[in-house]
Structures are given as structure tokens and as C-alpha cells.
Amino acid sequence: MKLTYEPVIGLEIHAELQTNSKMFCACSADYSNAPEPNTFICPVCTGLPGALPVLNKKAIEQATLVGLSLNCSINEFNTFARKNYFYPDLPKGYQISQYELPIASKGYLDVLDDTENPLRVVVRRVHIEEDTAKLAHEKNYALVDFNRAGVPLLEIVSEPDMRTVEAALSYATKIRAILRYLGVNSGDMEKGVLRFEANISVRPSGSSELRKRTEIKNLNSFRALTRASAYEIDRQIKVYESDGEVVQETLGWDEARGVTVSQRGKEDAHDYRYFPEPDLPPLQLDRTWIDSIKDQLPELPDAKTQRFIKQYELKRQEAILLTSEKSLADYFEGVVFKSNSPAKTIHSWIAGEFMRYMNDSGVALEDIKLSAEQFAQLIDMVTDKTISSNSAKVVLNEMLKSGGDPQEIVKAKNLAQVSDTGFIQEAIEKILSDNPKEVEQFLAGKETIVQWLMGQVARATKGKADPNVAKELLVKALEARRK
């Protein structure tokens, strides 16, 4: 019988913090908006002789928020350490990081695995470090831009608790959502503010051993994380199946070729010579200070999902969709607050036409021209039958594209729904006399033809006919032709 294998996956997530200044100096951390290379720099972040680091309080606050959100214990006494290695993007020849006593440790995050079953991923530690400079490789040389050097970076390290690529993706996605909820990271992976490293090994299903693992570095998108992990799992299984040995090594991901590539083996692995950073005294966090940070914690995705299910009587998946982004959840609640329609209806509008527009147009929620209040008015017009839902879709798209007041658009486009039986009756009579064949079919017993005829009515009345009234009149008119 052929052996089946089970992947063992752990993730390290590097997230830049969204502070105004860098981790250890007063330079702007907004390097992606720097006018040109090497403009947001000073003696500290370029590692000039004699320059010394000073902690960024905001970064400590944000790191604490993240630690608390991931159910970690916050270490009241934590220390910084030097990670020593030579590379041109590391001006001091060491990175200031945290080693023995990180700011947060021993937390967890509950996610759903590929079978939608709950999975608790243990978060081993969260620590603060500084980002490196950026290298631009030219033909015979490389240029260094220090604008990014010293930007605060958080490293979130999980235990190898994930058994499927889907679970790893679910964990990574949730971490990103939490970071965005906390306002500490934009989650903009194209800009590199969030990077993944996957530790992967495979073992025979059912076994509890931990086999040699490989580490895939610098995964800059969910797609890369998914593809690289899947590829690597497959590769390792093939190695074992051909009686080979997996080598413990660091890998890179070649996006174009879709393969992992060896970067360096264990034999030449770095010895980082960690030791406590003598330029920074240990950081003592006061219990009351930690509590005050705890008070700043916003409602996080899980709690919000639960509340939405309960408060708005949504299905789990509906609530998860709405709470995937804080801005979306806020928008939804904004519409609910301004509207008299049921929350479920509002969910349908947001999950349907609204999100379709956003996906198609690529417009971010922050840039949407439609206010929650206007959206609420529009939905209420459907609920109170002022307009048909088809008309409302037209109005919604108009508002999303160009903004504007829903009532005015309805008026301008003459879309108000009509319950005037005379007007509708007139339209029906014309349709029935224009389509004798269909009338015949109905009379012969094909009742489904009513739907088609209703469509004709809607078209003829430009969607303004109240569908209930129209249907009643249509059926009556058809029956009248039986004689």
C-alpha cells in the first residue's frame, strides 16, 4: 500500500508597522512616498560611527496591540538583541531585533482549515526588529537605498501547527486582517509591507515526528505562499518516495518558473552571534500601561463576526465576508444604521451588486463615492416599493460611478415604480396582443411562460411597474383570454 503524507507547516510573518518615524530614529518611515532614494536617512539608520538607537514608543504600542490581538502574553521585561551578519542592506553589520525576551509570546489564533473545521494555531512569539535597506541590482554593481532601513518590523512566528496549504493561507489571511483592523499595517503586499516565510516538512500521515524542514523565504503574496508551499510539499513527498533525504535548507521561490530554489544549505547557515543590544536598556512595560493598550483594542474579526451573526441574523459565511475588512464591516453597519430595511437585505446589496462593482472596477472602499446614507436611502426605496430592485441596480451603479443623490437619479431617469393599474394594464394588453404565440402556450398549460411575459412587462414599463401588481394583472389578462 502506498504511503500517504501529511505536510507540517509553520509561518513567519514579517509585518512593517505603520509608525510615522523609524524604529530607532526620527526619520520618516513612509519610505514608499520618499521623493528619491536616500532622503529619509540620518546617522542612525545609515549606521554611521557613533550613532545610537532610541526606541520608537509608537512601535512598542503597536507591537503590544498585535501581541494582545493574538492572545499572547506581553512580556513586561523584554530585551533587544543584535543579530550579526554582513550584507550591504544592513548598515550596522547587525540588525537590532529581539531574541531571548520578545515583546509577546505564547499566543494563538483560531482559523478554519480546508474542511472548514476550527484549527488553533499557536503563536510562538511576536518580536520587534528593524527593516533593512533596499538593494537595486545593476549589471556590475548594486545601489543601496536606506529609506527603508530602520523601519519598524514585526515578526510573528507560529508553531508548525498547520497541516494543509489552505490552513496556512487561512492563518496568513487572518493575520493580515487583524493587522489591518489594528491599523498597524496596510496589508499592501505589492509594496512589501507584509512578507511570509514558510517552514515546511512532510511526514507519513498519522505520524507525530518532525522531519527535516525547509524554509521558503520572501513570499510576497498569498499566491506565492500557496503555490510555493504546495510545490515544496510535493517536492518533499517525491524525495521521500524515491528514498531520498530532504536537506534542511533555506529556499527561495522562483515565481516565473513556479519552483523553489536552494539558497544556502545548513552547512553554511549563518551563525548570527546574537547577544543583548548594549545600546538599548531592557524595555520595562508597566502592567497598567499594558492594560491601557488593551483598552485601545478594537473589536477584532472573530468577535465582530459573532456579533453580526447574532445582531443582524446573518449566516456565518455572510458575516465572515462582511467582517473580512474592518472598513467593509463599518460601511455595512453605517448603512444598517441609516436604513429602515432589514440587515439581511442590506447584506445582499453589499455582497451582491456593490462588491461586484468594487471587484470589477478595482476601486477601494475608501474611494467609493457612495455614502452609507445614500446607499441606505436607495435600499429603502426598494423596500418601500418606490423603485424596483432592477431599477435600484441601475441607480446604484450610477451612484458608484458618478456619485449623486439616489432620489434625484430616480427622478432624472424616471425610474419611480408605478402601481397605477391603468398604466400597467395598458402595457400588458399591448404585450399580449403582440405575442399571440406565447399566449397560446400559456393557455395550453405552459405556466412558466408567465415569467417571460413579466420580463416583457418590465421592459415595456422600464422597470417601473410594481412586479406584484403587474403579475396579478398579467395573469388576470391571460385568464381572460381562455374563453
Q: Which residues bind other proteins (CB under 8 A)?
A: 43, 46-55, 82, 84, 86-88, 91-94, 142, 144, 271, 273-275, 278-281
Grid cell, residue 219, equals 513570499
Output b/e per residue, 59-86; b: 16+ Cβ within 10 A. Answer: bbbbbbbbbbbbebebbeebbbbbbbee
Residue 86 or 359 with smaller CB distance to other proteins: 86
Give every strand in the sheet of 81-84, ordered side by side. Answer: 94-97, 81-84, 275-276
Looking from the CA of 282 toward its CB, the CA atoms found within 13 Å total: 14
3-class DSSP state for residue 344?
helix
Residue from 190, 231, 245 nearest 9 by CA: 231
115 CB neighbour count, 10 Å cutoff: 9
Instruction: State the minimum distance, in angstroms, from the CB of residue 132 to other proteins.
Output: 13
Instruction: State the minimum distance, in angstroms, from the CB of residue 209 to other proteins.
Output: 25
Residue 136 or 443 with smaller CB distance to other proteins: 136
Instruction: State the minimum distance, in angstroms, from the CB of residue 41 to other proteins.
Output: 10
Instruction: State the minimum distance, in angstroms, from the CB of residue 273 to other proteins.
Output: 4
Query: Torsion over CA of 287, 288, 289 and 293, rounded to 10 degrees?
Result: 100
Residue 2 or 137 with smaller CB distance to other proteins: 137
Instruction: State the minimum distance, in angstroms, from the CB of residue 97 to other proteins.
Output: 13
Residue 22 or 347 with smaller CB distance to other proteins: 22
147 CB neighbour count, 10 Å cutoff: 25
Instruction: State the minimum distance, in angstroms, from the CB of residue 38 to other proteins.
Output: 10
Strand boundaries in 259-321, DSSP class E: 259-265, 275-276, 283-284
Residue 133 or 167 with smaller CB distance to other proteins: 133
Instruction: State the minimum distance, in angstroms, from the CB of residue 136 to other proteins.
Output: 14
3-class DSSP state for residue 413?
coil
What is the rounded radius of gyration, in angstroms, for the C-alpha atoms of the chain? 30
Please name the residue that has the C-alpha cell 397560446. Answer: 440
99 CB neighbour count, 10 Å cutoff: 18
Residue 139 or 482 with smaller CB distance to other proteins: 139
CA 443 to CA 482: how far, in whole Å? 7
Q: Give every CB contact of residue 171 below 8 A, 6+ residues apart in sequence.
A: 11, 109, 111, 121, 158, 162
Residue 273 or 401 with smaller CB distance to other proteins: 273
Residue 43 or 403 with smaller CB distance to other proteins: 43
Residue 53 or 67 with smaller CB distance to other proteins: 53
Which amino acid makes up residue 220?
Answer: N
Instruction: State the minimum distance, in angstroms, from the CB of residue 160 to other proteins.
Output: 22
Q: Give every CB contact of residue 224 below 8 A, 6+ residues apart in sequence.
A: 196, 253, 255
